[in-house]
């Protein structure tokens, strides 16, 4: 069907959120590697047939087969699906539940998948050791289960955590804005496809995130977030501590993140690119 559409000069467009499975040599490896090979072949067919190719991060340019020869390849960052809220009452109410007045509140928003959870299990104890006064807001469906697991290994950290579980979109936005700083670690680094990080940036919350193998230059170039090396819990804790100690720097980083989000990552920018605006 793809080749037929291409021959008919139909406007065939394809979006790659992720290019394909990685090859693996850990058991059972056969099924995973068959999928990895099949997806690479499928990606090549789609790239050849498409009139326009989109990618969720500039990093995929070096992974997609034939992408180096594509003039039509454009990056479409994945925007936040969490609204931007200004309800000071709802923000204050969440902060009262999670920390209280004058108590520093560091938050995380995500699904608590295995890889990110492993990063958090290293960073949170390092942060609490550095800042015994900090409280933690663990936002997202997997938050309560993560805290229960944390209680078995780091009860001193777990007792500082507040995990409300599923929240509706406006309540989640208010919870994000109630945090002084967000910590968003990713083992492979922050990229423009990470909607969990986008939610905090859109709402103007100072964010510390990972610089890793997949991280695009845009993060260092724009200063949208504070970067710490992926896997370096001490560096993460130090960056969070520095922001908690300086309200002016924290506010400035939050504003910069919101500005960069609006200009480079937002739904409005996505629509502009789809309508043919330059991708710079």
CATH of the domain at 204: 3.40.50.2000
Q: Which residues pair with 162 in a beta bridge?
A: 137
Task: Determine the average pLDDT of the residues in 153-181.
Answer: 97
Q: Is the pLDDT of residue 279 over 60?
A: no
106-143 tens-digit pLDDT? 999 999 999 999 999 999 999 999 999 999 999 999 99
Q: What pLDDT score does 39 carry?
A: 81
Task: Determine the average pLDDT of the residues in 8-32.
Answer: 74
Q: Model confidence at 278, in pLDDT bands (50, 70, 90)?
A: low
What does DSSP assign to residue 159? T
For 208, the token pair is 């510390």
* Residue 12: inside a domain: yes
Q: Same domain for 92 and 66?
A: no
Q: Same domain for 230 and 93?
A: yes
Task: Determine the average pLDDT of the residues in 237-246.
Answer: 98
Q: Is the dihedral angle over the CA atoms 145, 151, 153, 158 positive or is it negative?
A: positive
Question: Mean pLDDT for the chain?
Answer: 90
**Side-chain-side CA neighbours of residue 136 (13 Å):** 30
Structural domain of 104? 88-265
* Residue 167: inside a domain: yes
Q: Same domain for 168 and 249?
A: yes
Task: Determine the average pLDDT of the residues in 64-80.
Answer: 81
* Residue 113: inside a domain: yes
Domain end (from 75, 100, 115)? 75
* Residue 50: inside a domain: yes
Q: Same domain for 57 and 136?
A: no
Q: What pLDDT score does 7 carry?
A: 53
Prediction pTM value: 0.89
Domain end (from 12, 41, 75)? 75
How far is Cα 231 from Cα 263, in angstroms, rounded to an integer?
Answer: 29
* Residue 26: inside a domain: yes
* Residue 174: inside a domain: yes
Q: What pLDDT score does 2 carry?
A: 47
Please state the domain count of the chain: 2
88-100 tens-digit pLDDT? 999 999 999 999 8
Q: Is the pLDDT of residue 6 over 80?
A: no
Q: Do the Cβ atoms of 196 and 219 come closer than 8 Å? A: no
* Residue 275: inside a domain: no
What does DSSP assign to residue 59? G
Q: Same domain for 133 and 248?
A: yes
Q: Same domain for 131 and 15?
A: no
How far is Cα 43 from Cα 35, in angstroms, rounded to an integer?
Answer: 12
Angle ∠(54,141,230) on CA atoms, nearest 5: 60
């Amino acid at each position: 069907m793809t080749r037929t559409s291409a021959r008919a000069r139909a406007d065939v467009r394809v979006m790659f959120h992720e290019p394909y499975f990685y090859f693996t040599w850990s058991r059972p490896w056969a099924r995973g590697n068959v999928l990895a090979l099949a997806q690479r072949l499928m990606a090549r067919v789609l790239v050849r047939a498409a009139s326009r190719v989109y990618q969720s991060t500039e990093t995929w340019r070096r992974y997609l087969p034939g992408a180096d020869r594509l003039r039509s390849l454009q990056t479409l960052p994945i925007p936040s699906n969490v609204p931007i809220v200004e309800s000071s009452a709802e923000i204050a109410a969440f902060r009262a539940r999670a920390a209280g007045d004058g108590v520093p509140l560091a938050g995380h928003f995500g699904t608590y998948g295995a890889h990110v959870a492993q990063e958090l299990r290293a960073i949170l104890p390092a942060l609490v050791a550095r800042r015994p006064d900090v409280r933690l807001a663990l936002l997202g469906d997997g938050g309560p289960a993560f805290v229960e697991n944390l209680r078995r290994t780091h009860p001193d950290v777990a007792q500082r955590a507040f995990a409300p579980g599923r929240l509706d979109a406006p309540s989640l936005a208010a919870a994000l804005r109630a945090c002084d700083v967000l910590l968003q670690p990713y083992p492979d680094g922050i990229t423009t496809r990470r909607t969990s990080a986008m939610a905090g940036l859109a709402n103007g919350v100072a964010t510390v995130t990972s610089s890793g193998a997949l991280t695009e230059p845009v993060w260092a170039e724009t200063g949208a977030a504070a970067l710490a090396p992926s896997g370096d819990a001490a560096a993460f804790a130090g960056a969070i501590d520095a922001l908690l100690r300086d309200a002016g720097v924290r506010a400035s980083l939050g504003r910069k993140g919101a500005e960069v989000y609006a200009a480079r990552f937002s739904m409005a920018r996505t629509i502009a690119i789809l309508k043919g605006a330059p991708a710079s």
